[in-house]
């Protein structure tokens, strides 16, 4: 287990300079999720328009893995259709199980591949993606 595998430059960059950190106006979908075993928490807000994720913003606190994953997720899903975004969440689950996955034009996520070698940290990386899934599924069952 090499630390550099886990904490790649891209991850540390997203951790130090999170993208899409902040809140959206009223009318957006808000999901609050926490990881009860460790105290990490995320608030994800999605502005959905014409079946697409127009904007995604997050706030919260957590470790480098959970916050960088949240930052990447928001970048990756903006502009995607709801189904495509859900598809990415599914891909991400497989990715955490060690599957090699193609994230298309958004390559940053691949930096998280080392997480699959640290089973205790997988739930850190998946927190934001679970929030995304919850937000979209909630919207779809409306």
Report the alpha-carbon distance of residue 109 to residue 90 in Å, rounded: 13
In the bound state with another protein, the residue whose beta carbon lies nearer, of 24 and 122, is: 122
The continuous run of DSSP H or E covering 95 comes out as: helix 82-96
Q: At what angle do helices 9-16 and 64-77 cross, to 10 degrees?
A: 90
In the bound state with another protein, the residue whose beta carbon lies nearer, of 1 and 102, is: 1
Instruction: For residue 49, report the phi and psi dihedrals to the nearest 5 degrees.
Output: -145, 130
120 binds another protein (CB under 8 A): yes
Q: To the nearest whole angstrom, how small is the minimum distance from the Cβ of residue 31 to another protein?
A: 18
Site for another protein in 15-74 (CB under 8 A): 15-16, 37-41, 61-66
Site size toward another protein (CB under 8 A) is: 23
Collapse the DSSP code of 33 into the 3-class scheme (helix H, G, I; strand E, B; otherwise coil) and give the result. Answer: strand
Ramachandran region of residue 85, left (φ > 0), alpha (ψ -120 to 50) or beta? alpha
Report the alpha-carbon distance of residue 47 to residue 6 in Å, rounded: 31
In the bound state with another protein, the residue whose beta carbon lies nearer, of 7 and 103, is: 7
Applying CB under 8 A, which part among 9-17, 74-82, 98-106, 131-139 lies near another protein?
Answer: 9-17
Q: To the nearest whole angstrom, how small is the minimum distance from the Cβ of residue 39 to another protein?
A: 4
53 pairs with which residues across the strands?
48
118 binds another protein (CB under 8 A): yes
User: What residues line the site for another protein (CB under 8 A)?
Assistant: 1-3, 6-7, 12, 15-16, 37-41, 61-66, 118, 120-121, 124
């Amino acid at each position: 287990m090499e630390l550099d595998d886990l904490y790649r430059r891209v991850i540390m960059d997203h951790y130090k300079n999170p993208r899409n950190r902040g809140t959206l106006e009223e009318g957006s979908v808000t999901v609050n999720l926490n990881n009860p075993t460790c105290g990490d928490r995320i608030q994800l807000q999605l502005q959905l328009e014409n079946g697409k994720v127009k904007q995604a913003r997050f706030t919260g606190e957590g470790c480098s893995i959970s916050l960088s994953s949240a930052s990447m997720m928001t970048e990756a899903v903006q502009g995607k259709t709801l189904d495509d975004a859900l598809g990415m969440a599914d891909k991400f689950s497989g990715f955490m199980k060690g599957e090699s996955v193609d994230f298309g034009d958004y390559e940053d996520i691949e930096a998280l591949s080392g997480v699959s070698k640290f089973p205790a940290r997988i739930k850190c990386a998946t927190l934001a993606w679970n929030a995304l899934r919850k937000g979209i599924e909630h919207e779809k069952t409306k």
